[in-house]
Amino acid sequence: MCKRKSFFPQLIKSVIFIIIILNLNACINDSNKESEGNFGPKVVSPEQARPAGQTDVIELRAKPIDTVRMAIIGLGMRGQGAVHRYNFLDGVKIVALCDVVPENLDKAQKTLIDAGKPNADLYSGAEDWKKICERDDIDLVYVCTHWDLHTPIAVYAMEQGKHVATEVPAALTLDECWQLVNTAEKTRKHCMQLENCNYDFFEMATLNMVQKGLFGELVHGEGAYIHDLRWLNFDEENGYWNMWRLKHLEKEDGNTYPTHGFGPICHAMNIHRGDKMEYLVSVSSDQYGMTAYAKDKFGENSEYAKTDYAKGDMNTSIVKTTKGKTIMIQHDVTSPRPYSRIHMLSGTKGFAQKWPIKGLAFDPDGHSFLTEEKMDSMLTLYEHPITKEVGQKAREVGGHGGMDFIMDYRLIYCLRNGLPLDQDVYDAAEWSSIIQLSRISVENKGMPVQVPDFTRGAWEKVKTVSYFN
């Protein structure tokens, strides 16, 4: 009798416990459905409806320009290099130069004079870039400022009827990505992100191999920006103007500079030319490197050592595409590691990698790299037609081994011939969107985050990346 009496209270407790668990699970499920769209990737930037009267700018062609009149805005490290390279290109004239540091203007003007080119008009006010965009004798605005001005200048320039080429990243937020896309579609002006790594010799050769079928079905790619920049980020005299890049590391986690490693992989995988990015997951290590470096260089009690840096040392993001391919992208600028962009392509029939060991491998002996002699022979045989055409001059002029010159050559070539640019505004938006998307995923413990379709359904309009001739 006593045992029977004790059974019912225990049964009641068990039933109540089960009810609580079921209700808790239901609440969790409802919450997940609400925030993640029925357990799918979290939607953080609903795709904006295309404004009335606009159409996509896939493979946009503009009226040919016989002599491209250009202005370069921002004359720091990248801008000075551009002024030098453009002296070696035909069919282009630098009309105006702009920078808030007068010494940078003087240096750039001297580069033009030494090359026997006409003097450019000089602008040094903080918002003089607007005056440049408003001029009626400029066809192309070339933006080399700090990151925060890339989108504002690009948007304003297109609104004023100018084509735009902007340094990387083209945008810092999803909202800025949409601004670039909407403005380019509205104005029918080119907006190219100046991703020079797409034009490196190995990347161009492997792109050619992919398009000729040597890798079979391309399944996976890896890219990175692993570059020890501690010395430059903390250099108050010769580093980045106003320490702007260090300030970004103080404020933001995630992949703050994704495009160098990401762009070449996206072109090899035909992103928005037959496939598109579906969702992303991202995680970051904690931050150790910046603080350790600051303590060693400036002392434990220095302001730099006491600063709370948001940027984790290593960020790793993985993108899944609609067609089931994957892309890994990494970012680390705070560790004492050799430089690497990885650039790895893996397919059903072949494999390529540039860093840390350059190599090619193909069926039926994919387990081993080709010998160096055979690899060099393959790279020569499949050298991209563009690098065959201009590669020697690119090596002579320079700019990261010549890839900067090839990038500039292609930009001017396409504008002069009325051809679609190699990189379009959707590339700029997609590759730059990784910045905020990775940050959101990191903040939510690696939760999948949906990648917006910036083409708004036009990603299947063409089936492959084309560098037009």
Position 28 scores a pLDDT of 39
For 324, other C-beta atoms within 10 Å of its C-beta total 10
Give the start-to-end residue ranges of the domains of the chain.
68-195, 197-384+423-460
Rounded CA separation 141/72 (Å): 6
Of 44, 412, 433, 410, the residue nearest 266 (C-alpha) = 433
The single residue listed with the structure tokens 């940050």 is 439
Position 217 scores a pLDDT of 98
Residue 177 and residue 433 in contact, taking contact as beta carbons nearer than 8 Å: yes
Report pTM. Answer: 0.91
Contacting residues for 38 by C-beta, under 8 A, at least 6 apart = none
**Domain range 197-384+423-460, CATH class:** alpha beta
Q: In what order do the strands lie in the sheet with 163-166?
A: 121-123, 92-98, 68-73, 140-143, 163-166, 191-193
Rounded CA separation 383/381 (Å): 6
Cα three-residue angle 378-383-387, rounded to 5 degrees: 155
Position 2 scores a pLDDT of 40
- Per-residue tens of pLDDT for the chain, all 469 residues: 344 444 444 544 454 444 444 444 444 344 444 444 456 888 887 789 999 999 999 999 999 999 999 999 999 999 999 999 999 999 999 999 999 999 999 999 999 999 999 999 999 999 999 999 999 999 999 999 999 999 999 999 999 999 999 999 999 999 999 999 999 999 999 999 999 999 999 999 999 999 999 999 999 999 999 999 999 999 999 999 999 999 999 999 999 999 999 999 999 999 999 999 999 999 999 999 999 999 999 999 999 999 999 999 999 999 999 999 999 999 999 999 999 999 999 999 999 999 999 999 999 999 999 999 999 999 999 999 999 999 999 999 999 999 999 999 999 999 999 999 999 999 999 999 999 999 999 999 999 999 999 999 999 999 999 999 9
Position 309 scores a pLDDT of 98
**Domain range 68-195, CATH class:** alpha beta
Position 39 scores a pLDDT of 61
